[in-house]
Amino acid sequence: MGHSLQKTPKLYAILTGKCPHCRRGAIFTGSMYGFNVQRTNYKCAHCGQRFEIEPGYFYAAMYVSYAMNMAEMISMGFLTYYLSNGKLDFDSVWLYVGVIFLGSLFLSPLNYRYSRIILLHLLSPKIKYNANFDKS
């Protein structure tokens, strides 16, 4: 009888920060929020895939992070407008500035992590998933 491989879902690997090649090893050490600072591993502990494919590779993650940050800031602006009952005058400018600044500051570790994960999983044509690693 043929052995069918149960593939690790891509969405699971993205949400949990797993290697795009084997979907088993962790991309980061440390927690997103906490005292042990998150760092990107040099390579996957499970399959040996290098995460920084070439020097300066993660500079491209800045573009992904920028898009994420803009979407978050616009959402926070609309949410502030909605929760303040449509208050949009000169006196409420600092309310918007404060909410958007503190929200962006709070979400920066999430943006750091997921901009790199999105870059590796969705925008890196050199890295392909290998289902053979699901055997082990």
Q: How far is the C-alpha of 127 from the C-alpha of 63, rounded, in Å?
A: 19
Long-range Cβ contacts of 32-37 (<8 Å, 24+ apart):
32/109, 32/110, 32/113, 33/109
How far does the chain reach from its first CA to its final CA, in angstroms? Answer: 19
Q: pLDDT value at position 17?
A: 94
Task: Tell me the sheet residues that pair with 18.
Answer: 26
Q: pLDDT (tens digit, 9 = 90+) per residue, 71-86?
A: 999 999 999 999 988 8
pTM to 2 decimal places: 0.85
Q: pLDDT value at position 1?
A: 42
